[in-house]
Structure 1
């Protein structure tokens, strides 16, 4: 069918979970590709994104509906952005509308104008101000405004109320005006704070020299031990890019690391620095998105989703802690920001730098294959030295809240010298299990195949899997006994024990339970740096990226469970965590020690890490992966399925596997379906089926065939299912 002369076809994507595009009729002139339109969809009106202007369609002319409204005059996503998202749609086999709309801020998804919100500001007016002689507050406000116009927020911070401003307005001495934010023109005005530059080590200088000469697509892997100065290499690699008037995207794994990163970048470059992360409100997010798109932002620091933001002229991508699992989206559009960043750099023909003290096995494999250029920082600058590693055998000794006598002695020695000590335990609460001492009853979550964690603070039971909470029962619900005891170790219990063992020192616990209040995490960090606390106890929040110059002893407690986990990536993650935690010790001029307390001191992984380091461990583990045919030497896709009844999951996945198997070549494995290790979570039974192949092409073909079968199965409507390409973890 061909459209009429007055109307033409447009093809749009909609934010719906359907793997297809949609055709509509639109009056001339047609909106460009990348513009938004409002269209009817069923009994709703949705915001859609125009992809193309097809000449014909296979649909019945009577079924094609007209566009309700055109929202944009110019595209919100340019051709390069759409090309990236089109590739992602094909690779991750995800509904296109959900992929494209992932790149838009929430307000644009709702159809709001793609423009800055006008800023309100108060301005002083000329006039007779003699009436202010007796109105002190009004006079002070008037004098402030005479110096410079100010926003209501800025005035409020100075103690000026709206009543005072309205009084000035009534007297004709002030008025409120609205104006769009002025676009920052930073290009051609780039200055570098040379005073902030430290002296580079030989390795740093070599890395900077190589990076500054890169002016086309070149993937670099910067493997630098913790404290070796990777951030300084980032900063100096950015200089020629910014001086050329191009933008830089710096991706970080967590929002918690963002404030200190921003401060350091702003000290070096007095340029517009923009942040993008999930804690921003909708308006802040849109304004930051616009600043990236129109080029007002010179440096963009953001978490995973920042990769999908449009840029005016992007010149360099830096991914800090590239190994971090938070770069992989675990629901909805399950993309890996690191992998998509490499594609984006390739499409834009710009360099990309991946940095980590513990590179992912995929990145190390690519470096060994010559796909990445490897840059190494093996030394800490200045007088800082690499920490000494110790394995403490905790067998046959009396532990006090998980602390062995040897560890207590080491702590006492360092604290006596005026140093700080850090203890790492990745388990919140007082005890991971509450049980009855008389009958053996366990406090199990009603919605998960898991135990409640007992939080003594608040005397509550909390399931860390589904977030369900309930008061701790006063007695056993099974036998009536009051002898309910906690078993296992949590940060609350260790904190209590430390206060008794070392009463003369201040202890600070940092985990998600005591950092929920806005700004509390930063306050705790400031207290640590100021020397207010001598013993630091925390979960993974405390392990990453922080610089504490007085910490000379770091100890990891109770990590033995990770040595025998079922996930083939567990050893890699434990090794990365160990090295990251170890990196907090001895970062300044003081020598440091790293202690891993274990019941398995002879375990090959621990021995390899403590004696040979991460690189040697990774080389050995990669060889094991090669022999087993596991990623990165093969490629995987995971079908996940969940429902309120386990039988519903099996009714979907078993026929899927049975119908798929005859169509698969011998080189593609289909494993499962099988239940998750925690079969029931938050009231949902969970099952999965794994596909594995030696080539991406064969895997993609198998997945497309599986999707066609899945869409045709009646049981698909009774379950929630998804496909995860390159899964980073099994359920």
Structure 2
């Protein structure tokens, strides 16, 4: 995505004068803003947040830049009122919302809903707080319990503290405080509430010592912050090369200049170690933004971003639409990750839209990865992006040795999934007192359960997918819609008992095998359904770092930038997983994932080793991992896509037709096929059943529009859809620049 389809770079249209007649964009799937009038004596500039009546309810909306219809009688307009105390949405954020809507062909109101939601706009609690301090004197002979003594000792050091802080510091219940206050041993005063976020210190004593390459890259990034101009930089380097410490120096420069920074991570809820690194560098944690936050925390964070007191925000893709007061830098870490693509609602890629926001606001953005996406590499090659590379691991650590285990010549025992060379490598590692990790990107016990007697396979009733067995919970579950059912005692098709057989391994089954092979090893399973969230991830990381774990068995979350100093062996159970099928990016994605997993091995003094179990060790992906020549693989991948105008050398847009009625869904998709556009450099593939032909009870068909790089897909899509009658029972979702083909 290079942004040449729509008018992004034009001058701001200017700010209409305040008026009683206003155009209001509402966070609803509407194609345009609606006109309202303001009460007598009120006026509102564009960006002002108002409350407006819509179908009998009041919704927050934003006064938009479009001109209201002057010909419509003012007396017939419904009345909207300005909400006092809320920040205005800045012109640049409004331009971003309009631009994203135009690029993705979404309703502007749907994009606005990602920037403002009513819970975020609720009033904040009073800005005063009750502070507790020691009373003027203690009566002689007062009986002090250990808990009461701790309270007084802490107050002797801090003088006054709020109730939550005092409870946390003393490790006691609030009842202890109340009982001491009733006896007159504590006094309460009103004080100003501390800011929601402490200010990070760019000169904090925990600043990292950078190598020569790191320092040169850090200085270049910091200089781009100082220049206050749009630029895109790819910061790449091998795993463990210190990319995080390098780009944090650019964050430090933004803090010195009094400007805010946004750091996007693919899965912020699993980034406990990243947050610890930040706190070591700046003395305090950053503001965090993700879906697991409580409503009150999200509200405080949103306001702190808007008033500029949250200097650094680290978040998931939705943080891109926060109302920054003075944004000076954007970092997209692990820029290649598909988690940055939102697949439902407004379908957009946060990495690409982050580049758009940087361009709109004239600020630098850095894309960071050990395995950059082909799209980013193509932009480097075209001269649109600058490249800074870190070629070696920090501190002189060596890269791990990667070896393939050919399962055709050394297969596991019958009914097992760990090959003898892998077992021996784990044995040797544990005997040296080091840690090992086994990786398999499959949750649960087995991806398929069938009946040996009649061949019945357990499938989801709502999706074209097999049910995954989760043996510990005794359920069969669909990982697409969440449907689950209890594990039956007999086959529902033939009533045979003791005939149900798991097919293939998941991490639970590998763990079961490890328990038999290494009964004395301390084990930890790291999967999204076992870790639980930020606190669980932090707890697991501490266990591994503190050497309370010998063997880690994990899914793809173990690839997310962890640093485990004593982990020297990484074993991939099924390195071929992900290479099959017709996904355009299957090879690229598999390489990126396995390279990230391999990078967990051998970070400290002990050298690392990576073993890949494969039935096709001659595959280019496996060979690239063994040789370490990732660049050559990506060049070959690019050459394979270039002739057919496949991304990044052409444009794609997908139409996903879905409905509960299969006949009507097929009718609409067939009509779209008949009305498909035809022009030089334009091709339409389909309609065809999607690989997930049924999802959450809806039948799905796909059409794929492919064009040359110099042809904008949005006008073609608009004209195409305008020629087809789409019933209300059928939905057509548009995915510009698709990364998933399910």
Q: Please indicate, yes or no, whether the TM-score normalized by the shorter chain is above 0.5.
A: yes
Q: CA deviation at 1:502?
A: 2.1
Matches within 5 A, 1:620-635: 620-635=636-651
SS in 1 for 2:331: strand
- 1: CA distance between counterparts of 2:201 and 2:419? 55
SS in 1 for 2:438: strand
1:226 aligned residue: 239
Contact in 2 for aligned 1:105/1:286 (Cα 8 Å): no
- Stretch of structure 1 that moved more, 138-147 or 330-339: 138-147
**Which deviations, in whole Å up to 9, do the C-alpha atoms of 1:146-167 show, x marking residues without a partner?**
7533222223332555455455
1:686 aligned residue: 700
- Stretch of structure 1 that moved more, 419-428 or 191-200: 191-200
Name which of 550, 553, 565 aligns with 2:581.
565
Tell whether 2:457 aligns with 1:442. yes
Contact in 2 for aligned 1:668/1:699 (Cα 8 Å): no
Q: Mark the CA change 1:124 to 1:508 in structure 2 (over 3 Å): closer, same or farther.
A: closer
SS in 2 for 1:352: strand
1:204 aligned residue: 214
Paired positions, count: 715
**Which deviations, in whole Å up to 9, do the C-alpha atoms of 1:123-149 show, x marking residues without a partner?**
348667649935767787577557533
Contact in 1 for aligned 2:234/2:368 (Cα 8 Å): yes
**Which deviations, in whole Å up to 9, do the C-alpha atoms of 1:150-201 show, x marking residues without a partner?**
2222233325554554556666763364744447795xx945235542241x
**Which deviations, in whole Å up to 9, do the C-alpha atoms of 1:572-627 show, x marking residues without a partner?**
11010111011011111211221111111222332233225221111110111111
Tell whether 2:713 aligns with 1:703. no
Q: Mark the CA change 1:291 to 1:697 in structure 2 (over 3 Å): closer, same or farther.
A: farther
Q: CA deviation at 1:397?
A: 3.8
- 1: CA distance between counterparts of 2:575 and 2:239? 21
SS in 2 for 1:347: helix
Name which of 35, 54, 63 aligns with 1:41.
54
- 1: CA distance between counterparts of 2:312 and 2:105? 32
- 2: CA distance between counterparts of 1:615 and 1:104? 42
- 1: CA distance between counterparts of 2:566 and 2:285? 33
Q: CA deviation at 1:58?
A: 5.4
2:88 aligned residue: 76
Contact in 2 for aligned 1:31/1:73 (Cα 8 Å): no
**Which deviations, in whole Å up to 9, do the C-alpha atoms of 1:281-321 show, x marking residues without a partner?**
11101211222222212222111111211222222211110
- Stretch of structure 1 that moved more, 30-39 or 650-659: 650-659
Q: Mark the CA change 1:508 to 1:19 in structure 2 (over 3 Å): closer, same or farther.
A: same
Contact in 2 for aligned 1:424/1:555 (Cα 8 Å): yes
Contact in 2 for aligned 1:649/1:719 (Cα 8 Å): yes
1:382 aligned residue: 395
1:489 aligned residue: 505
- 1: CA distance between counterparts of 2:372 and 2:567? 24
**Which deviations, in whole Å up to 9, do the C-alpha atoms of 1:448-501 show, x marking residues without a partner?**
222212222132212222222222111222233222211111111111111211
Q: CA deviation at 1:567?
A: 1.0
Matches within 5 A, 1:286-365: 286-365=299-378
Contact in 2 for aligned 1:660/1:709 (Cα 8 Å): no
Q: CA deviation at 1:421?
A: 1.5
- 1: CA distance between counterparts of 2:446 and 2:643? 40
Matches within 5 A, 1:535-574: 535-574=551-590
SS in 1 for 2:664: helix
- 2: CA distance between counterparts of 1:140 and 1:385? 49
Matches within 5 A, 1:411-560: 411-482=426-497, 483-516=499-532, 519-560=535-576
1:723 aligned residue: 734
Q: Mark the CA change 1:204 to 1:175 in structure 2 (over 3 Å): closer, same or farther.
A: closer
Q: CA deviation at 1:427?
A: 0.9
SS in 2 for 1:677: strand
SS in 2 for 1:478: coil
TM-score, normalisation: structure 1: 0.91
Q: CA deviation at 1:254?
A: 0.7
SS in 1 for 2:387: strand
Q: Mark the CA change 1:106 to 1:697 in structure 2 (over 3 Å): closer, same or farther.
A: farther
- 2: CA distance between counterparts of 1:175 and 1:194? 36
Contact in 2 for aligned 1:425/1:558 (Cα 8 Å): yes
Q: Mark the CA change 1:404 to 1:160 in structure 2 (over 3 Å): closer, same or farther.
A: closer
1:153 aligned residue: 164
Q: Mark the CA change 1:439 to 1:197 in structure 2 (over 3 Å): closer, same or farther.
A: same
- 1: CA distance between counterparts of 2:166 and 2:85? 37
Contact in 1 for aligned 2:48/2:89 (Cα 8 Å): yes
- In the alignment, structure 2 segments of 5+ residues that lack a partner are 1-16
1:118 aligned residue: 127
1:14 aligned residue: 26
TM-score, normalisation: structure 2: 0.90
Contact in 2 for aligned 1:415/1:534 (Cα 8 Å): yes
Q: CA deviation at 1:239?
A: 2.9
- In the alignment, structure 1 segments of 5+ residues that lack a partner are none
SS in 1 for 2:394: coil
Tell whether 2:611 aligns with 1:600. no
Contact in 1 for aligned 2:320/2:350 (Cα 8 Å): yes
Q: Mark the CA change 1:507 to 1:371 in structure 2 (over 3 Å): closer, same or farther.
A: same
- 2: CA distance between counterparts of 1:225 and 1:657? 45
- 2: CA distance between counterparts of 1:655 and 1:358? 41
Matches within 5 A, 1:249-268: 249-268=262-281
1:642 aligned residue: 658
Name which of 223, 227, 249 aligns with 1:213.
223
2:99 aligned residue: 87
- 2: CA distance between counterparts of 1:178 and 1:71? 27
2:7 aligned residue: none
- 1: CA distance between counterparts of 2:323 and 2:435? 44
Tell whether 2:417 aligns with 1:402. yes
**Which deviations, in whole Å up to 9, do the C-alpha atoms of 1:666-713 show, x marking residues without a partner?**
322222222111211222211222222224653111122234345xx2
- 2: CA distance between counterparts of 1:693 and 1:633? 9
Q: Mark the CA change 1:178 to 1:719 in structure 2 (over 3 Å): closer, same or farther.
A: farther
Name which of 282, 293, 301 aligns with 1:280.
293
- 2: CA distance between counterparts of 1:582 and 1:250? 24
2:12 aligned residue: none
Q: Mark the CA change 1:396 to 1:70 in structure 2 (over 3 Å): closer, same or farther.
A: same
Q: CA deviation at 1:335?
A: 2.0
Q: CA deviation at 1:535?
A: 1.8
- Cα RMSD for the two superposed structures: 2.7
SS in 2 for 1:84: helix
Tell whether 2:604 aligns with 1:591. no
**Which deviations, in whole Å up to 9, do the C-alpha atoms of 1:20-50 show, x marking residues without a partner?**
1111112343122111222222333322111
Contact in 2 for aligned 1:9/1:24 (Cα 8 Å): yes
Q: Mark the CA change 1:446 to 1:143 in structure 2 (over 3 Å): closer, same or farther.
A: same
Tell whether 2:402 aligns with 1:393. no
- Stretch of structure 1 that moved more, 545-554 or 70-79: 70-79
Q: Mark the CA change 1:119 to 1:574 in structure 2 (over 3 Å): closer, same or farther.
A: farther
**Which deviations, in whole Å up to 9, do the C-alpha atoms of 1:52-78 show, x marking residues without a partner?**
3736445466753222x2213664311
Contact in 1 for aligned 2:645/2:709 (Cα 8 Å): no
Q: CA deviation at 1:269?
A: 1.6
Contact in 2 for aligned 1:257/1:545 (Cα 8 Å): no
2:687 aligned residue: 673
- 1: CA distance between counterparts of 2:197 and 2:586? 46
**Which deviations, in whole Å up to 9, do the C-alpha atoms of 1:234-293 show, x marking residues without a partner?**
122333322222222221111244322222122222357211111111110121122222
